[in-house]
Structure 1
């Protein structure tokens, strides 16, 4: 293959925790490489840490939904602008307005209360797990329920509606799902959220959606913001908790570091965010011609930035393919970068800081109940992780 020939996005992982092997070669020789998209578009793949951050910080690269092409078959693409309220697929100043309103809801008081609630929820599910006894699917009994309870409580979703929200949200992140099923799930979630928005406006409570309902946002904007926050809060943290636990169980010497110093969990969280890639890539489209890493990206061309490759860049992180819980992992792009950096990153950190030490403290003999090769990976999903994580432990 010549240096100007377009490649197809590498997706085959050598292990459950590592990005495709081709990424390292591209990062070294072609950090800005021509990329062929399934719809026939010719764009770019960016793999170095410095250039990924450069693209994400440069507002000449747009996040607008209608401009982008997606490098995964069956995952949809551009063509339609994002609905009102879907701020992650908008640029400033539209994005700025929504983000400012949402940032105001992530108050110090609310985060303090959430920390206390996350710790309490974690203990509740560990108690239930202990009562049930081994073996167990950790996704069902622990890593899935905690983020679901927290994001639903944050938004004010009634308990009786949460299971439907979770089920429909999971369907929407699965590439290749028949369009009819996807639309059914989408419309069901939208209808539930619209009812919730109307209820919050009529009778507000102490939750984020009620706070937003006091703003000048329209019913449609509120519905879409709630829809987006719920989906993001359910899937991303749940998979970080599950995949992070899997990685720790497969790296006992690093797990020993956590067990020896549970108070050092901040390092654990940041290193897992660097080492694992539940969101392997982000998309941006050039609004004008931009020189990037010695290549000319033309206006209208979509750039796929590989967060996975950037976080394994040896130019930024020495010995990057090794999980090292003592590493100073600051500067990773696991939460993105720039104006679109993950709004809920502090909440995700709170959940991980609570969950990992509590889980391994409660079950010091926790281990896989199947061979590692038998753990089903979410290679069929836009958000990577594991479908289930069978574990067992010694009962004393």
Structure 2
């Protein structure tokens, strides 16, 4: 752990000059353990950020928006989407744009408007999975297209094909996490953004004439400027596929290794929600959130100067030994309190309830209802990728 700095602003902070983003994309958890064990705060030159990796540290960032602003200058997400969506704004501007989106995403509205649609889409892709047969890739043949189809319906973008929606999401996610400034990722973002805008031309025109229960329609009816509507649709696309699809594959991955938990869920349906919650903690889909300090702060004796980018590593906080007992273990009966998988405070993920309904209550139980012996294919391990946004990219299954 070095304390030699070129930048006087971070001269008092320990330096994680050993942090390697490429290694973290393969498996970030050894890095997270090292970060937590050595210091609650680091300066990380490889990603040009002050990083917090503990549960207490991430809570400090989330609970003090007067210090840690979401209006990050030069944020990769802003470049990826061609503008500043609400997640990159502070209140009151954030609240103004968030308010119209909250209405269709409340639990009661989700149940009334979308639950039947979630079930119908799930049954369709269960048929697809059945047709492919044992050896199918759960992510490619079920989780990703189902998440995309659900999101198309939630956004009212009906003519869009699931493959296109999934590709746009992957490109926006890659761009939002493009801390190494990969030119090919920016090229992909540009192409997907152009295609998304073209689809939104039709969607917005139609919804102005015929409003419906979709998120896009709610934003238009709420009086948001069209530019804000478009940016927040792209924001929803970036997170609205990645997280649900990974929650499906994460759940099957854990249940394949914990048949006793599956047996418990089949006996008591309330356990499905516990499976969803524990998978979200252990495999946090949004691994890091970025903020910018707009005032000086202090945490655990370390001064955090104004004018710096900050990374709160939620995926590390959710495995903090000081918060969760045996945190690398999958346990559906934890009692240690809340996790950070969906963030906290004003920027808590707006799609949390939709994900719990579509995945935790409908899609994963339906998988095992159709295929009671579903499990990972022996001898064909799953593939993982990413750390800012991390999940299973391929999982062969059998039944």
Q: What's the TM-score bracket when you normalise by the shorter of the two chains?
A: 0.7 to 0.9
Which runs of structure 2 are paired with 1:201-240 in the superposition (5 Å)?
201-240=208-247
The normalised TM-score by structure 2 is 0.86
Which runs of structure 2 are paired with 1:235-274 in the superposition (5 Å)?
235-274=242-281
When the two chains are superposed, the root-mean-square deviation of aligned CA atoms in Å is 2.7
Which runs of structure 2 are paired with 1:1-396 in the superposition (5 Å)?
1-2=1-2, 4-8=13-17, 9=19, 11=21, 19-38=28-47, 41=48, 43-59=49-65, 60-66=67-73, 76=76, 83=83, 86-113=85-112, 114-174=114-174, 175=178, 176=182, 178=184, 179-328=186-335, 330-353=337-360, 354-369=362-377, 371=379, 374-379=381-386, 382-393=388-399
383 and 284 in structure 1: CA distance in 2 versus 1, 3 angstrom threshold: same
Shift of 1:166: 2.4
Distance 1:229 1:389 in 2: 25
Shift of 1:290: 0.6
SS at match of 1:315: coil
Q: Name whichever of 312-321 and 155-164 sits farther off.
A: 155-164
243 and 81 in structure 1: CA distance in 2 versus 1, 3 angstrom threshold: closer
Distance 1:286 1:80 in 2: 22
Shift of 1:269: 1.1
Tell me, yes or no, if the aligned pair for 1:47 and 1:310 is still in contact at 8 Å: yes
SS at match of 2:241: helix
Quote the residue 1:73 is aligned against.
none
The normalised TM-score by structure 1 is 0.86
Shift of 1:329: 5.8
Tell me, yes or no, if the aligned pair for 2:106 and 2:353 is still in contact at 8 Å: no
Q: Name whichever of 340-349 and 251-260 sits farther off.
A: 251-260
SS at match of 2:279: helix
SS at match of 2:394: coil
Tell me, yes or no, if the aligned pair for 1:64 and 1:82 is still in contact at 8 Å: no
Shift of 1:391: 0.8
SS at match of 1:44: strand
SS at match of 2:234: helix
SS at match of 2:51: strand
Shift of 1:184: 1.5
Tell me, yes or no, if the aligned pair for 1:82 and 1:89 is still in contact at 8 Å: no
Please list every run of 5 or more consecutive structure 2 residues that lacks an aligned counterpart in the other structure: 4-12
SS at match of 2:157: coil
Tell me, yes or no, if the aligned pair for 2:168 and 2:237 is still in contact at 8 Å: no
SS at match of 1:45: strand
Distance 2:104 2:267 in 1: 36
Please list every run of 5 or more consecutive structure 1 residues that lacks an aligned counterpart in the other structure: 69-75
Deviations 1:290-337 (A, max 9, x none): 111211010011221111111111221111111012223641000011
339 and 226 in structure 1: CA distance in 2 versus 1, 3 angstrom threshold: same
- Corresponding pairs, count: 379
